[in-house]
């Protein structure tokens, strides 16, 4: 008996069945779905508008103030000064038989904006009234609380002066050396003598604790009164009172010896410190068909208007799946790279009605009323990604066509990294968002082809 013809017939039958199955599967997605329920996907483009707006002041509860003045040929001027109380630790004490030698103010900083070689002059004034405890905004004028008749001391400096110390920071297996520059300003020895006289009183007089001390010595106002090319990012401000004292039998021969010591107080987060910022933004606020601006600190923001009303009718029976938003910046080709203001590291896109209280209440972005984007130096842009959740949220809240107004605000962001290992860098999550106090500025494109929402929606 020959089996070969049977095998051929069996093979042909299997191929025929398989082919018929494939032909059926090609159409199964539509045959099981009713004709009226088929998904329809569409795209659209929504062009948005923008303008530059003035910032009166910003919330600034910072322990790192900025000091100085800088005039940028494109973005205008920034002037900054600060006033602060000094924290008095109860463990602070004078040695017995102290004799005041000298007093100075030390301003420490590690980075600058502007020209590092241009001369500037620091000036220190005495505060004559208690500083407001809850005023953390940059429009506070320190001169209203200071004796402006004459400075307690002045000191010329440059951004990269010759007085510095080196600190070493360790991170994992790496080390980093950082230069901490210092400006020493000589103050009257009478300040130190008044401290010593008060300390010698019963129970140390007003030097008993921080509350009584701030009434005795309300603080100092630190500003500049010469130069406009440098702004310092201040790390620490210290009041140093140097004195001599007799150490009984302190020498190697067991005889009395004269030694030196220091009574040191710092401006710390535990006490009041207010950074006063002034900007000249006239050029940025003038009509401009090329772009809008953002500038920090307390400079200008860009206002974005999303005309959702133009697509509202399309969204009534459709689902909005994607709305991509990218803001493109414009480089200033003619500026000196060494001294120019750089674009902000991050921008916050926040609803106009949600900005008040955002920083005061330490809120984070919620990807509905607020988003953030980081600056990409390769594309020179801020990519906010898909902001469809914003439009969908307000669509549910409102029963009629609407537009949305948001602000672009320069911010600093603190990130926390989790899941880091030898094989992975881990994931970074924002844990705090602050108004950016470091000077920065950039022009943002406002041409329709650049400032838009690329939309994808679906319907059944």
373 is a domain residue: yes
Domain membership of residue 31 (yes or no) is: no
Is 3 a residue whose pLDDT tops 80? no
In a domain, 28, yes or no: no
Dihedral (C-alpha) 427, 429, 434, 435: value to the nearest 10 degrees? 60
SS3 of 19-61: the string is: HHHHHHHCCHHHHCCCHHHCCEEEEEEEECEEEEEECCCCECC
Q: What is the pLDDT of residue 422?
A: 63
Asked if 232 and 381 sit in the same domain, the reply is no
Angle at 382 between CA 280 and CA 305, to 5 degrees: 70
pTM: 0.85
Domain boundary among 279, 312, 336: 279
**Residue 406 sits in which domain range?**
42-54+299-459
Q: Are residues 90 and 216 in the same domain?
A: yes
For residue 249, the tally of other CB atoms under 10 A from its CB is 9
Does 341 share its domain with 254?
no
421 band by pLDDT with thresholds 50, 70 and 90: low
Q: How high is the pLDDT of residue 250?
A: 66
Q: Are residues 146 and 236 in the same domain?
A: yes
Give pLDDT tens digits for 140-178: 999 999 999 999 999 999 999 889 999 888 866 778 899
pLDDT in tens, 88-127: 998 899 999 999 999 999 999 999 999 999 999 999 999 9
**Pairwise CA distance, residues 393 & 405, whole Å:** 14
Residues of the chain with pLDDT > 90, as a percent, come to 74
Residues 208-237, mean pLDDT to the nearest whole number:
96
* CA distances for 256 relative to 100, 252, 261, angstroms: 19, 10, 16
Token digits for 442?
């950039």
Asked if 118 and 144 sit in the same domain, the reply is yes
For the segment 383-396, the average pLDDT, to the nearest whole number, is: 96
Are the C-beta atoms of 124 and 266 separated by less than 8 Å?
no
Question: How high is the pLDDT of residue 63?
Answer: 85
Evaluate whether residue 7 is within a structural domain: no
- pLDDT tier at 7 (50, 70, 90 boundaries)? very low
Domain count, the chain: 2
What's the whole-number mean pLDDT along residues 310-330?
Answer: 94
Helix, strand, coil shares, percent, the chain, to 5: 20, 45, 35
Q: Which residues contact 431 (CB under 8 A, 6 or more apart)?
A: 364, 414, 415, 416
Residue 18 pLDDT greater than 70, yes or no? no
Q: What is the mean pLDDT of the chain?
A: 89
């Amino acid at each position: 008996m020959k089996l070969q013809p049977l095998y051929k017939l069996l093979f042909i039958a299997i191929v025929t069945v398989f082919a018929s199955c494939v032909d059926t599967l090609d159409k199964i997605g539509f045959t099981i779905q009713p004709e009226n329920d088929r998904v329809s996907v569409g795209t659209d483009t929504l062009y948005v508008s923008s303008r530059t707006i003035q910032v009166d002041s910003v919330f600034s509860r910072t322990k790192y103030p900025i000091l100085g003045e800088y005039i940028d040929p494109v973005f205008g001027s920034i002037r900054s000064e600060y006033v602060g109380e000094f924290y008095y630790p109860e463990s602070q004490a004078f040695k017995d038989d102290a004799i005041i030698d000298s007093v100075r103010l030390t301003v420490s900083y590690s980075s600058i904006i502007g020209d590092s070689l241009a001369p500037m002059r620091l000036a220190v004034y005495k505060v004559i009234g208690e500083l407001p405890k809850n005023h953390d905004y940059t429009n506070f004028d320190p001169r209203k609380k200071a004796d402006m008749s004459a400075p307690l001391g002045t000191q010329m400096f440059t951004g990269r002066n010759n007085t510095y110390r080196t600190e070493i920071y360790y991170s994992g297996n790496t080390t980093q050396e950082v230069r901490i520059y210092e400006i020493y300003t000589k103050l009257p020895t009478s300040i130190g003598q008044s401290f010593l006289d008060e300390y010698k009183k019963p129970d140390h007089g007003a030097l008993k604790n921080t509350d009584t001390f701030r009434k005795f010595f309300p603080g100092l106002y630190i500003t500049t009164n010469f130069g406009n090319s440098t702004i310092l990012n201040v790390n620490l401000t210290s009041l140093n009172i140097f004195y001599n004292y007799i150490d009984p039998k302190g020498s190697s021969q067991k005889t009395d010896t004269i030694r030196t010591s220091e009574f040191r107080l710092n401006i710390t987060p535990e006490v009041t410190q207010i950074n006063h910022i002034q900007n000249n933004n006239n050029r940025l606020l003038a009509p401009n068909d090329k772009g809008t601006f953002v500038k920090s600190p307390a400079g200008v923001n860009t206002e974005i208007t999303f005309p959702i009303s133009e697509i509202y009718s399309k969204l009534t029976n459709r689902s909005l799946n994607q709305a991509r938003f990218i803001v493109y910046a414009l480089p200033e080709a003619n500026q000196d790279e060494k001294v120019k203001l750089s674009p902000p590291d991050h921008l916050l896109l926040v609803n106009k009605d949600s900005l008040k209280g955002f920083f005061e209440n330490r809120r984070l972005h919620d990807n509905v009323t607020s988003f953030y984007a980081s600056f990409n130096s390769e594309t020179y842009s801020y990519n906010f990604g898909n902001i469809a959740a914003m439009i969908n949220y307000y669509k549910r809240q409102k029963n009629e066509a609407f537009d949305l107004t948001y602000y672009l605000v320069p911010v600093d962001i603190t990130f926390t990294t989790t899941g880091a290992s030898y094989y992975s860098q881990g994931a970074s999550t924002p844990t705090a968002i602050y108004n950016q106090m470091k000077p920065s500025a950039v022009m943002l494109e406002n041409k329709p082809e650049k400032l838009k929402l690329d939309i994808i929606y679906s319907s059944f």
